[in-house]
Each structure stands twice: as C-alpha cells, then as structure tokens.
Amino acid sequence: MSPRSAPVSPMARATLETRQRLRFGSSMTMPSRGARTRSGERPASRSWSASPALVRAALGSAAGLTLAVVLGEPDLVVLVSPLAAYAALALLRRPHLTPRADTRVDHRLLVEGEGTTWRLALTDADDVEHLTRIVEHTRFLVSDPPHGAVGGLVRGVPNNGAPGGGAPGKTAPGDTETGDNESGKDRVGDLPISPRRWGLHDLGDQVIVGSSAWAGFRWRPTPPPSGGRLTVLPEPSPFDADAELPQPDGLVGAHRSRRIGDGSEFSGIRVFGAGDRLRRINWRVSLRTDELHVDTMRAEQDSGVLLVIDAFADHGRSGGVDGSPSSLDLTVRAAAALAEHHLRTGDRVGLRVMNGGNLVVGYGAGIHHLVRIRSALAQVRPSTPREGSSDRLRFPCPPGTVVFVLSPMLHQTSVNATATLASRGLPLTLIDTLPAGIDVAGGSDHRDLHDLAWRMRLLERDALLRQLSRVGCPVVPWRGPGTIDDVMRRLSRRAALPRELSR
Amino acid sequence: MKPALRNAVRIPIPPMGSRPFGSWPVKNWSTAHLVARCVLLLGPLLTLFPAPGPTPVWAWVVGIVIGLAGARQPDGFAGLGVILLTVAVWVMAPGDDLPVNLLLSAAVLVLVHVCGILASYGPPEMRLGQELLTRWSLRGIALVAGSGLVFGLARIVGSAGPSSVGWGSGVGAAVLLLLTARAALVGPRSNN
C-alpha cells in the first residue's frame, strides 16, 4: 500500500458521511471539501444555528399549547410545559460570540509507532458548553480512542498565547482554550494519535461541533481547520554486523585498511627510517638488534556505502509497525538499519531509490545525515519508471564503494540495474526483501489460479537470483542481525587476492 | 537528534485491526449511548401507557415506528413525532380532569428529549462524561419538577374555570412562537 497522496478519497468521504448521518443525525456530517457560498467565496466560519433539540421542543410545545387553547384541554399544558420551559431556557442562553477553532500537532516528525497529540484550541468560546470532535479514520493512523471521537464539557481558562489567541503572556477576556500544551495535560478535543507506518501521512478531515448551554444552539466551523501532514520516519529493523567492509578507502574511519598508516591496530615491526615518529620506536627490539626499529600500524579508514532500494512495486500487504511487513516495508526498514549501522561506524552512506522519481541522497556521514536518509526513505512511494527511463539509471559509485541492493527482484529494471552494478567490479550484495508467505490471491474467486501464477513467478525469480550469484553478486535474504557478515567476509577475502586488470 | 524525535512519546494505542469501523457497531457503543438509544426506542411506547382509557392500535404502531426512527437517528424528526403522538393520545383520552398520570407522561417525554440530546452529542462510540450525565440528569429533574408546578397551578386555576387556562396557554404559545421565530431569524451578535 502506498502512502496516501490525497487527504481523503471520495469513497472514504462518502462512507464517513453516511456513517455519521446514520449515527447522530444529518447536521453533524463531514463538510464537503471546497464548499463555497453562492457568491463564490469560501465561508470563513459558520455561526450558531438552532439545534434539532430546540426546534423539536419549541414546535412540539407550541403545537401542544395551541391545541390546549383550541380544544380547551388543560392537561396538554401540563404535558408540554417541561418542553416549553426547556425551549425558553435554551433561548435565554442563546450564544452571542462565534468561536474560532485551531488545531496543531505537537510533533510533525515521528518514527513509526511513536505517538503525539493532535490538539484543539478554541478562542471566543465562552458560549460553548460542550465540544465534540470527530476525526476521520485514515489507514495507518490510529487514535486513542480508536474511533477518533472525543468530547466533553468545556471549561473556560485564560488563553496564554495559544494559536488563534491573543499575544503571548496576555490574557484576553473571553478567550477559552481547550488544549493546554505547556502542562502536557490533555483537554477536551485533544486526540492522541500514532502513525503505524512510515511515510507522509495527511491527517484526515475532522468535524468540530460546539453546543451552547442547554444544547439549544450548535456551532461548527466551516471549513474545519486542517491537520496538515506528518512525516513518519521508518523504524530501523534490528541489525548488527561484525564483518568489516572489504575496501575502505577514505581518510578516517573505523575499518582496518590494508595500507600502513597512523591507526591503532598493530601491523608489524621494521627498521627506523627518516620521518618515522619517535614514539613508534620499539625499544625492546631495538636493544636486542642494536638497530632502531619502529612499530607499524594499519591505517583506519572509512568506506563509501551506497544503498540502492527497489521501489518499483510493493508486494504483500503492510500491517504497519505492528503487523506483517510488505516488501517495501522490509526494504525501507532494512535500508534504514544499514544506514544507521554504517553511519555509526563512521562510513559515508548514500542512497539511490529506483522508482519513477529517481530520488538520490548524496554521500555523507554523521547523525544528521542519518536523519536526512530516513527522511528520504519516508518519502518513498512505489511507482514504475517512465518508458525508456530505466536505461538512464545512474549510480554514483566512486571506486571502492560497497553497494547494497535491497530488492524483491520482481521487476526487470532492478535486475538489469543490479547486473550493471555487478559488472563494474564493485563489491555488491543483493539483499532479498521479498517477505515469505505473501497472499497474492486475497479474496479472489480464482485463488488456485493466482497461487499457481505466483509460484511460477517465484520459480523464475529463483532462477534469476542463481544467475546473479554466478556473475559474482551474492544474494542474501534480509534476516536482521548478521545478514551481511558472511558476504562481507567473503568479499574482503576476494578483495585481498591479486586481481587481473584488463587494459 | 531533532527535538521532535526526542520529545515524542510512545502512547498505549491498540494495534490496527481493532477499530470499530466496519464491524457490528453496537458492541463498541458506550454504555450511556446504549441506554439513551434504548430509551429512544421504547420511549414513545412508554409515553402511551399513562394515558387513561384504551390506547388505539394505530398509536402503538406509530409509537413503534417513531421509536425505531428515533433510535436510529436521534437528531431527526422522530423526537417531534413522540411529542405529537403523546399529545394526540391525551387529546383523545376520556375525562376532563387532570390525572396524576399526566405527570408520568410528561416525565417520560422529558426523558426521551434528554436522551435524544445526549445521543446527538456525538457518535455512539464516544464516551459521555459523568459530569455531563449528572448535569443533564439534574436538568431533567428540574424540568419535571417544573411540570409538577404547572400541574398544581392548572389544578388551582382549573377550579376557577377552563377559560382561564385556555387564555393562559394561548399567551404562552404566542410568546414561545415569537421567541422561536426571533431565534431562527436573527443571528447571533458578531465578534469579528
């Protein structure tokens, strides 16, 4: 499932409107997007209107009293007198101020599975007795309570610089706030939310309804304040690797180089030469041999790591951070884990996304670069390349760069790109991110046919992976910690062997 | 690490798949909503019981229909239908005196009205706070007590002659209609 591109689909809107109309009346349905007045202007805010309770009480009691007069039935007066009293009290507490609503989210940048609070602040809300807020259900965004409807009695408190309120530090008379961010305490209308999958999540539409005292009048802002968008970073899969990268060639880093340098790893002892540091003199050997000897050390260097991820399609059904992963979930979380591991060991990491967008993140190091890569991963959407654009795929790989291709290998373009990279002689590892047990048939009537086709496709894929292995591209399934250890050791041994270069 | 990441907290949220949407909804309803909908379902029938004399069959049928409609959509016109049905049954009731059962019927009407208000505050899954329920319980009791006062006044005034009650009711109806028309036609004072 790809992250949503539009805030609300027409189908979801229609479903929600129907549900609300069935549940609590037609006057509290979701407003139509882009609703405008007859003059073509979008209404800024809707004022109070009489509630159905007031209308039925007024009409019912008026009808009863009229009949009592016409028919001379005093018992009708007694019968409808409570409703008449209710209508009178509701009219007496008629609201005079039109409130303003604003919403904000405590955190716009989250990791999947983390939570934040979507707050609601009201100003000029002296006449609001009860507030109801209903947030549209969107996939991969859960709320507490799960149905997304919160409400309660509103108590007026001074507004200290809340959105839509007065100046900070000043108390504006008549301002009422429902969300108290500084104390961290949830108020009426605040809704804890949590994205359950990485990506860009548009917060759904919402309905805010205020009721006056005695529920005689209702207020609903039109259009309701929009929630905006959450950027949800992928949670890196558990990962660790003991093996070193095969060809470290940078300046500084944590990997032992084959070259002699200024590191801390002992390499050997040789005769003192001009320019050698005095602190490197090995006095024990020098005294024994009557000649100055120095210790030599291995250089410690960093390495370039390129992560190439296949986002041409998303196979399987994503269950979010709590459920089973899809192929793109595995790919993105594995890429985040690899990036985190190599950036923490001091390597330079780059990212290349293979899809219709051709997203590239250049090489960099450090924690800030990790956030940059995870933010880029959060923007990944499955898309197929345009016709002919797959031939123009470019991979920025300086010599010695270690390449990890994370792919389910079900798209011809990703197979071609992997074979091209392998032919350049780079240390390349293909990490298979196709999850096991994908149900391709779903609820289809032709389940046997779908399963048969899927099995045939997997056989073709297995043959393809064997061919890639034969041309020097090791293939390992993603299994978390230790996934790349064996491969890296083999690549390191291969890199240490003398090679024949063609001119 | 960015402040947003540092400050974000993990909150206990049930995993996906436990949402009430798409499933049989009643099991996810809050208790207060369930009770309110039951009252809305049975209320029209309960208002007919205290009426003196035999209640016509059509009134029971209409009561069932209105109850179903009110339980399905508390904000609809079913609430008005309950009032009109009760009024119609009491108009057709034999006897000209003011029976005490009248107070029972008025109390049920208030109960149905209050339950309609509570049920229309939000979707059935939304929890209604204890304070809100207490507030509306007190309001309902006050309204029923007011009808008891009117009942007493009607008994006293009724002994002086039915015309006095008629004129008083007529004036009350006119005032209420005027207030309703004013509320409907004149908007609230703008604060912008």
CB A314 within 8 A of CB A411: no
Name the CA radius of gyration of chain B, rounded.
22
Q: What residues of chain A lie within 8 A of the CB of B11, using their CB?
A: 115, 144, 192, 194
Which residues are within 8 A (CB) of A393 and not within 5 positions of it... i.e. 6 or more apart?
A354, A358, A413, A417, A420
Between CA A315 and CA A457 the distance in angstroms is 13
Greatest Cα pair distance, chain B, in angstroms, is 84
Q: Which CATH number fits domain A96-233: 2.60.40, 1.20.120, 1.10.287, 1.25.40?
A: 2.60.40
Closest Cβ–Cβ partner in A23, A51, A59 for B124: A23
Cβ-Cβ pairs closer than 8 A, A with B, add up to: 299
Give A478's DSSP letter: -
| pLDDT of A45 | 47
Q: Which runs of consecutive H residues, i.e. helices, occur in A424-501?
A: 447-470, 485-496
Say if B144 falls within a structural domain. Answer: yes
A49 to each of A342, A395, B44, how far by Cα in Å?
61, 62, 27
- Class of residue B5 by CB neighbours under 10 A (exposed 0-12, middle 13-18, buried 19+): middle
Say if B185 falls within a structural domain. Answer: no
Say if B14 falls within a structural domain. Answer: no
Determine how many CB atoms are found less than 10 A away from the CB of residue A104.
Answer: 18
In angstroms, the separation between the Cα of residue B105 and the nearest Cα of chain A is 7
Q: What percent of chain A has pLDDT over 70?
A: 74
Both tokens of residue A244?
A: 């070193």
In angstroms, the separation between the Cα of residue B2 and the nearest Cα of chain A is 9
In angstroms, the separation between the Cα of residue A406 and the nearest Cα of chain B is 26
ipTM confidence: 0.82
| pLDDT of A6 | 36
DSSP codes joined into one string, A306-370: EEEEE-S---S---TTTS---HHHHHHHHHHHHHHHHHHTT-EEEEEEESSS--EEEEE-SHHHH
Give A203's DSSP letter: P
Average pLDDT value for chain A? 77
| pLDDT of A344 | 85
Q: Which CATH number fits domain A304-496: 3.40.50.410, 3.90.76.10, 3.30.70.1350, 3.20.20.140?
A: 3.40.50.410
The residue among A424, A384, A386 whose CA lies nearest residue A405 is A424
The residue among A463, A495, A471, A493 whose CA lies nearest residue A423 is A471
| pLDDT of A160 | 38
CB A165 within 8 A of CB A121: yes
Give A200's DSSP letter: E
Low-confidence ranges of chain B (pLDDT < 70): 1-26, 96, 158-174, 176-178, 180-192
Task: Tally the domains of chain B.
Answer: 1
Which residues are within 8 A (CB) of A66 and not within 5 positions of it... i.e. 6 or more apart?
B170, B173
Q: Which residue of A has its CA nearest to B155?
A: A74
Q: Do A53 and B113 touch (CB under 8 A)?
A: yes
In angstroms, the separation between the Cα of residue A48 and the nearest Cα of chain B is 7
Q: Which domain holds residue B99?
A: 27-180
Confidence of residue A384 (pLDDT cuts 50, 70, 90): confident
Confidence of residue A162 (pLDDT cuts 50, 70, 90): very low
Q: What is the pLDDT of residues A16-73, one digit of tens each?
A: 444 444 344 434 444 443 333 334 444 444 588 999 999 999 999 889 888 887 887 8
Give B107's DSSP letter: H
Query: Does the pLDDT of residue A192 top 80, yes or no?
Result: yes
- Whether this prediction's pTM lies above 0.80 is answered by no
Torsion over CA: B38, B43, B45, B46 (sign): positive
CB A296 within 8 A of CB A311: no
Q: What is the pLDDT of residues A342-373, one digit of tens each?
A: 888 878 899 999 887 778 898 888 889 999 99
Domain ranges of chain A: 52-92, 96-233, 256-301, 304-496
| pLDDT of A7 | 40
Q: What is the pLDDT of residues B11-40, one digit of tens each?
A: 444 444 334 333 445 677 889 999 999 999
State the amino acid at position A150 in one-letter form: V
Q: What is the pLDDT of residues A71-104, one digit of tens each?
A: 878 888 889 999 999 998 898 888 888 888 888 8
| pLDDT of B183 | 62
| pLDDT of A21 | 43
CB B85 within 8 A of CB B44: yes
Q: What residue has token string 């107070």?
A: B103
CB A160 within 8 A of CB A284: no
Closest Cβ–Cβ partner in B11, B106, B131 for A144: B11
User: To which H or E segment does residue B108 belong?
Assistant: helix B101-119
Determine how many CB atoms are found less than 10 A away from the CB of residue A294.
Answer: 20
| pLDDT of A137 | 80
Say if B140 falls within a structural domain. Answer: yes
Q: Do B1 and A145 touch (CB under 8 A)?
A: no
- Determine the 3-state secondary structure of A202 from DSSP: strand
State the amino acid at position A42 in one-letter form: R
Mean pLDDT in residue range A2-29: 42
| pLDDT of A262 | 66
